A and B are shown apart, each in its own frame.
Chain A
Amino acid sequence: MRQSVRCLLITLTCACVTLSSSLVRAEEGQAAAPPAPPSSVGLHAYAAIDGNTMAASRSFEAVLGSATLPGYGAGVDVTDLWKHLFVRVAVTHATKEGTRAIFTGTEAVSLGIPLTVSMTPIEIGGGWRFVPSRGRIVPYAGGAAVLLSYKETSQLADPSENVSESFAGYEAFGGAEFGITKWLVASGEAQYRGVPNAIGDAGLSQAFNETNLGGFTVRFTIGIRTGR
C-alpha cells in the first residue's frame, strides 16, 4: 500500500509539474504570440495531513484506543475550469496500530493481539471556489465520490482472517485557501465522508452496530498554485 501511495504521489507531482510548466510556457508564449484570451485554468497541487475521526467511533476506540486516525497524502485541484469551478483528485492514507478485542456487553477487552488498520481513500470530485475580488483567502466547498481501500491485518491471522476490501462512498467538504505567496498556498478543510454498510456484518462493528466507515476529517494542505 505504501508503495502504491508513493507512486500516486510521484504521478501527481509529475502531473503538477507538467501542467505548471505548460501553463508557464503558455504565459511565456503570450509575449511573442498574438494576443489571446488569457488562460483561466489553474492548478493547485498539494500535500495533505488529515485527522480522521471515524463515525464508527466505538469500534475504532476498542481496537485502536481512539477513534481518530492520522493520515497523509496529496491531491490536485484543477481550478477555474468554468468560472470558479474546480475538480479534484486526492488520495490519502491513514494507518494505526492497535490490538484485537472483545466486547463483553459492558466493556471492550483487549486481547493483546496486534492489529494494524489502514485506510486509503481516493477522492474524485469537484466544487466551487468563492474567489473574492481581493484578499488572500479563498473559501471553497464541494463534494466527491470516494473509493476507500480498507485493510485490517494481524501477524497471527490466517489470510482469511485479514481484511482487504474496497468500498464506495461519498464526501462533502468545505474550507479555505490562504495564499502565502503568489505560488505557495495553505488550506484548511473539513470533510464529512460517508462509506455506508462497509462494516457491521461481523467483528466489533457488529457488536456495536456500526456500519459506516466514514466520518469527519480535518485536512491541512500546503501546495503550489497557478492561476487565481
Chain B
Amino acid sequence: MRFRMVIGCAAAIAAGAVAGGPRVIGQDAPVPRPMMSAERTAAFVDAASRSLDYLPGEVIVKFKPGASRDGQQRALDAVRSRPSVDSLEWAGEVAVLRDPLQADARILAEQLASQPEVEYAEPNYLLQHQATPNDTGYAPRQWNFQSLDMPRAWDISPGGSASIIVAVVDTGITTDNNTRSAATWNGSAIQVISVPFAVNPDLPASRLVTPFDFVSGFGTTTLDTDGHGTHVSSTIGEETNNAFFDAGIAYKARIMPVKVCASYWDVQFSFSASGGRGFVPPSAGGCPNSAVAQGIRYAADNGAKVINVSLGGSNPSTAQLDALNYAVGKGVFVAIAAGNEKLEGNPVSFPASYATQISGVMAVGATNRSGNRASYSNTGSYVEIAAPGGDSRDSDAAGSGFIWQSTIRPSVSDPARVLFPVFDNYTEVAFSGTSMATPHVAGLAALLFSQGIKTPAQVEQIIKKTAKLIGTPESATNPRNDDFGFGLIQPRAALFGLGIKK
C-alpha cells in the first residue's frame, strides 16, 4: 500500500517542505492532546509493527437479543481482564471490547463467541483503502468520464439534486479551514508544529453535511490527512463547469464525510502527543471494522441515500454484514470496492463479497483506459459491476491512464516526502484502484435517486440492466462474468431508460 516507502524519502524531501510549509511552533510549546485514545494509538502502532490486519486486543461483540446486563457481564467475565459492561464502547447493536491482557484478538473473539449470551464476536479487523496513488502529470485527464459518455448523461441529469446525500465512508474530507497544533517526530525529538487544514476549494463546505469522525476523536469535524477520502468524494461530486480542477459525477449532490480510517499522520500525531518517540511504522493506520460498521450505520441514520465504501480487507465480518443490511433496510444504496489484490492471489475481499447477498449493495471492479479489466482488480462471483479505476499498466509517464481528481497535494502531505505536512493545499492527483471505480457507481446511484428512483434494489437493477457486458457472459441466462460482473456502467442508458421499441 501507499505508505510502504515512506521514511526513506521523507528526510530528503522534508527540508524543502518545511521551508515553505508549516510554522514550527517549537519543542517548548504545550503538547496537544492526542487525537486518538492512547490505547487505540498503541493498537494502530502495534498492528503496523507486527503486520497484523486487526487491532490487537480489540474485538467487536454482539450480544444475543434479550441478553440481560448480568448475562452480558457473565460473558465478559470469560476474558482475562474481566472488563465491566460499562467499559464497552457501544456502536449501535455491537460493542467494542478492549482487553489489555490479551493482545491476540482472535483468541479474545473465540473466548467471547463461545459464551451463550454472545451472538458473535470477531477481531476488529483493519480494512485498507483500495487505491494506488500516483502524482505524475495532469493531462490528458478524466478519460474515465469521457469513456462513460458523461456529458450526455449530464444532459439528462445535470449533476443530480442537492436533496441527495452521498456518504463517503473513508479517510475523511476536511470540513473547516483551521490551523491546528500537532505533535510529531522530527527525526530526533517530539516537536509541536502548526498544521493548516482547508476545505477542498472544488468541493466547498456548503456541499458537505453532517460529518463525523469515528476514528481519531474529532467528532463532528473531519480532517483528511491522507487524501484518499477527498479524491473519492471528488469523483462523486466535485464542482463541475466552474473552469477549475476536474468534474464530478453528481456535482449537485451533497457529500457526508464519514471518517473511519486513520492515516499515517493520524497515528503519528497521536503517538507523538502521547509521548511516543520515533516514527510510527510506515504502514500505520487503517480502517477498523468497528469504525466502518459505525460509519455505515451513522450515514444511514443521518439521511444518506448512497454510501461509498472504497475499502476492503480479506477478513469476513458479521458486523460489516449487519451494518450493510441495516443501511439497505433504511433505503440506502451502497457501492463497495471489489479489491486490488488480483495480482496478489486474488483473495475474496470483504465487505465487497457481501454484495451478492444484499440487493442494493454492489461490488465494483475496475477497468483501465482501454476498457479492459484493470490488472489489479479482483475477480470473482461477487464482482457485480465495473467502472473506470485506471491502471499504471495502461498508462504513459504522464499518468494518462489514472483517475485524476482534486485532493490534498501529495508533495506537501505524503509521509513518504515530508516530515511536517500541510493539508490546505489541493491539486489534481492521479490515483488508480477499485477505490476510484467505486465512486463512479456511487455517483451514478446519486443521479438515479435524484431522478426519482425509490429503492436501493431498483438502483442496483437499473445499473446492472443497462451495463455493457465486456467479454463472454457466464451463460445465456446469466449475462455476467467474474471479471466485470454485469459489465461497465452506462450512465446515459441508466438515466435515460427505455422506450417501447428502443
Are A202 and B462 CB-contacts (below 8 A) given A109-B453, A111-B452?
no
Asked whether any CB of chain B lies closer than 8 Å to the CB of A24, the reply is no
Complex contact B500–A152 (CB within 8 A): yes
- In the bound assembly, the distance between CA atoms of A154 and B500 in angstroms comes to 12
Contacts of A60 in B (CB 8 A): 500
Give the docked Cα–Cα distance between A154 and B155 (Å): 13
| B501 interface residue per 8 A CB criterion | yes
Mark out the residues of chain A between 80 and 135 whose CB falls within 8 Å of any chain B CB in the assembled complex: 99-105, 107, 109-113, 115, 117
Interface flag for A199 (CB, 8 Å): yes
Interface membership of B148, Cβ < 8 A: no
The reply on B292 being an interface residue by CB < 8 A is: no
**Which of A63, A109, A198 makes the CB contact (< 8 A) with B458?**
A109
Residues A105 and B461 in contact in the complex (CB < 8 Å), given A111-B453, A112-B451, A152-B502: yes
* Minimal beta-carbon separation of A115 from chain B (angstroms): 5
Q: Is B495 at the interface (CB under 8 A from chain A)? A: yes
CB neighbours (8 Å) of A107 from chain B are: 458
Are B500 and A205 closer than 8 Å at their CB atoms? Answer: yes
Residues of A within 8 A of B502 (CB): 152, 161-163, 202-203
Cα distance A111–B449 in the bound complex, in angstroms: 10
Q: How far is the CB of A107 from chain B (nearest CB, A)?
A: 8
CB neighbours (8 Å) of B453 from chain A are: 109, 111
Interface residues on B, range: 20 to 34
Q: A103-B465, A104-B465, A112-B451 are in contact. Are A199 and B458 (CB under 8 A)?
A: no
- Verify if A79 is at the interface (C-beta below 8 Å from B): no
Q: Which of B495, B499, B500 has the most CB of A within 10 A?
A: B500
* Docked-complex contact A101 and B497, CB < 8 angstroms: yes
B496 within 8 A of partner (CB): yes
B496 and A161 contacting across the interface, CB-CB below 8 Å? yes
Q: Is A56 an interface residue (CB 8 A)?
A: yes
Please tell me if A76 contacts chain B, counting CB pairs below 8 Å. no
Give the residues in chain B near A102, CB-CB below 8 Å. 461-462, 465-466, 494, 497-498
Q: Residues of A contacting B498 with CB < 8 Å?
A: 100-103, 202-204, 207
Using C-beta atoms within 8 Å of the partner chain, give the interface range for chain A. 35 or more
* Chain B proximity of A192: nearest CB distance (Å): 20
CA distance A207 to B461 in the complex (A): 13
Complex: A60 Cα to B370 Cα, angstroms: 39
Q: Which of B451, B457, B461, B499 has the most CB of A within 10 A?
A: B499
Q: Does A33 contact B (CB under 8 A)?
A: no
Give Cα A110–Cα B495 distance, bound, in whole angstroms. Answer: 10
Q: Total A-B pairs in contact (CB under 8 Å)?
A: 90
User: Does any Cβ of B come within 8 Å of A150's Cβ?
Assistant: yes
Are B495's CB and A111's CB within 8 A? Answer: yes
Known: A104-B458, A110-B452, A156-B156. A59 touches B500 (CB 8 A): yes
Q: Report the bound CA distance from A107 to B451 in whole Å.
A: 17
How far does the alpha carbon of A63 sit from the alpha carbon of B452 in the complex, in Å? 15
Chain A residue, CB-CB nearest to B499: A152
Is A156 touching B496 in the complex (CB atoms < 8 A)?
Answer: yes
Which residues of the other chain, B, contact A62 by a CB distance below 8 angstroms? 500
CB distance from A62 to the nearest CB of B (A): 8
Inter-chain contacts of A117 with B (CB < 8 A): 499-500
Chain B nearest CB, measured from A46 CB (Å): 30
Cβ contact within 8 Å between B497 and A113: yes
Q: Contacts A111-B451, A112-B451 known; A199 to B501 CB distance under 8 Å?
A: yes
A102 to B152: give the CA distance in the assembly, Å: 18
Q: Mark B456-488, 1 if CB is under 8 A from A, else 0.
A: 011001100110000000000000000000000
Which A residues are CB-close (under 8 A) to B448?
111
Note all chain A residues with C-beta closer than 8 A to B457: 104
Residues of B within 8 A of A161 (CB): 496, 502
Chain B residues within 8 Å of A157, by CB: 496
B499/A104 in contact, CB under 8 A: no
**Residues of chain A in range 19-63 having any CB-CB distance to chain B below 8 Å:** 56, 59-60, 62-63
Q: Which residue of A lies closest to B448 (CB)?
A: A111
Cα distance, A104 to B465, chains bound together (Å): 7
Complex CA gap A105/B156 in Å reads: 24
Nearest CB of chain A from residue B157's CB, rounded to whole Å: 9
Contact of A204 among B155, B461, B494, B499 (CB under 8 A): B499
Residues of chain B lying within 8 A (CB to CB) of residue A202: 498, 501-502
Residues of B within 8 A of A158 (CB): 152
Least CB distance, B414 to chain A, in whole angstroms: 43
- Bound complex: CA A63 to CA B499 (Å): 7
Q: Are B497 and A152 in contact (CB under 8 A)?
A: no
| C-alpha gap A174/B497 in the complex (Å) | 39
Taking CB atoms, residues of chain B closer than 8 Å to A105 are 461, 465
A163 touches B462 (CB 8 A): no
Residue positions of B touching A, CB distance < 8 A:
152, 155-156, 448, 451-453, 457-458, 461-462, 465-466, 494-502
Show 7 A/B contacts (Cβ-Cβ < 8 Å), sorted by A. A63-B499, A111-B453, A113-B496, A163-B501, A203-B498, A205-B501, A207-B498
What are the 9 tightest A-B residue pairs by CB atom distance, in nearest-first order?
A: A104-B461, A100-B497, A111-B497, A152-B499, A59-B500, A203-B498, A199-B501, A112-B452, A203-B502
With A102-B465, A111-B448 known, 18 other A-B pairs at CB within 8 A are: A63-B499, A101-B498, A102-B498, A105-B465, A107-B458, A111-B451, A111-B495, A112-B451, A152-B502, A156-B156, A161-B496, A163-B502, A199-B500, A199-B501, A203-B498, A203-B499, A203-B501, A207-B498
